[in-house]
């Protein structure tokens, strides 16, 4: 069983999808801790409701990003996977280098298109006809790490950022738990920036 730490800044619906997959028995794992940079993050409430250790770690209480991130790592302790689930701060190189395990992220665009903030808005404004979401391992770049899974949705003529985001979110809730499940089963092999599946024969 893998131990998962979650970093989240907002409502935490992706985290909830991972929790449900654990409860269904799809993911052989447990969420050991949830940390947020936002005091009112829904993710913290959801963790409390499930009896999971959670903390608001206020970035303003620390002198700089390094000391903030050191505190995050201290709280995380030993774990097998760190899931970013709507965590809106960019992780520093120190965090990534010192993390005890791989870090995964979900991004609401088909990377490498539209990294950074507001992936769905970028897709609508650019006029692409297919948008979607990506689960990837985190490296020191912006949404640039090895891609684990992607899902596509059609962009409709009357889509707004909000309507597109809502349809993409449904796909996020499928592929993030799926990626964590594959990781927990030891199926993922990272070869450079290519993620492959181990075949168990
Ligand atoms: C999602 O759209 C995710 O792709 C992005 O931030 C949003 C988080 O939503 N990284 P939630 O907090 O998981 O509901």
Instruction: Please determine, for residue 201, whether its predicted confidence score (pLDDT) is greater than 70.
Output: no
Q: Is 193 left (phi over 0), alpha (psi -120 to 50) or beta?
A: alpha
Percent of the chain with pLDDT over 90: 99
Task: Give the catalytic positions in this structure.
Answer: 107
- Please check whether residues 127 and 181 belong to one and the same domain: yes
Token digits of residue 201: 């024969």
Domain end, chosen from 70, 101, 132, is at 101
Of 101, 116, 134, the position where a domain reaches its end is: 101
102-131 pLDDT, tens digit each: 999 999 999 999 999 999 999 999 999 999
pLDDT at site 199: 79
What's the rounded Cα separation, in Å, for the pair 46 and 110? Answer: 28
Task: Please name which of 10, 11, 7, 27 lies closest in space to residue 19, comparing C-alpha atoms.
Answer: 27
Whether this model's pTM surpasses 0.95: yes
Residue 82, domain extent: 1-101
CA distance 133 to 105: 11
171: part of which helix (H) or strand (E)?
A: helix 161-184
Q: Which residue has its alpha carbon closest to ligand 1 atom 6?
A: 86
Indicate whether 113 and 63 sit together in one domain.
no
Looking at the structure, tell me whether residues 184 and 121 fall in a common domain.
Answer: yes
Work out how many domains the chain is built from and give that number: 2
Ligand 1 atom with minimal separation from the 169 CA: 2
Pocket test for ligand 1, best of 8, 9, 10 (most atoms within 8 A of CB): 10
- Domain match, 176 and 87 both: no
CA 169 to ligand 1 center in whole angstroms: 8
Beta strands in the chain (DSSP E): 2-7, 29-36, 54-56, 81-84, 103-107, 130-137, 147-154, 188-191, 194-197
Query: Cα–Cα distance between 13 and 34 in angstroms, integer?
Result: 13
């Amino acid at each position: 069983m893998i131990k998962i730490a979650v970093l989240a800044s907002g409502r935490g619906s992706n985290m909830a999808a991972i929790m449900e997959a654990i409860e269904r028995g799809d993911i052989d794992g447990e969420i050991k801790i949830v940390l947020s940079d936002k005091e009112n993050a829904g993710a913290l409430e959801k963790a409390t409701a499930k009896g999971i250790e959670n903390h608001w770690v206020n970035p303003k209480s620390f002198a700089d990003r390094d000391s903030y991130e050191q505190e995050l790592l201290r709280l995380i302790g030993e774990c097998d996977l760190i899931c970013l689930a709507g965590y809106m701060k960019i992780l520093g190189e120190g965090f990534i280098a010192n993390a005890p395990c791989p870090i995964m992220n979900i991004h609401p665009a088909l990377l490498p298109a539209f990294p950074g903030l507001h992936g769905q808005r970028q897709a609508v404004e650019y006029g692409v006809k297919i948008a979607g979401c990506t689960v990837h391992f985190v490296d020191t770049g912006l949404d640039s790490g090895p891609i684990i899974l992607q899902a596509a949705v059609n962009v409709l003529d009357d889509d707004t950022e909000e309507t597109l985001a809502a349809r993409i979110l449904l796909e996020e809730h499928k592929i993030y738990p799926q990626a964590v499940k594959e990781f927990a089963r030891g199926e993922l092999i990272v070869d450079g920036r290519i993620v492959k599946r181990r075949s168990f024969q």
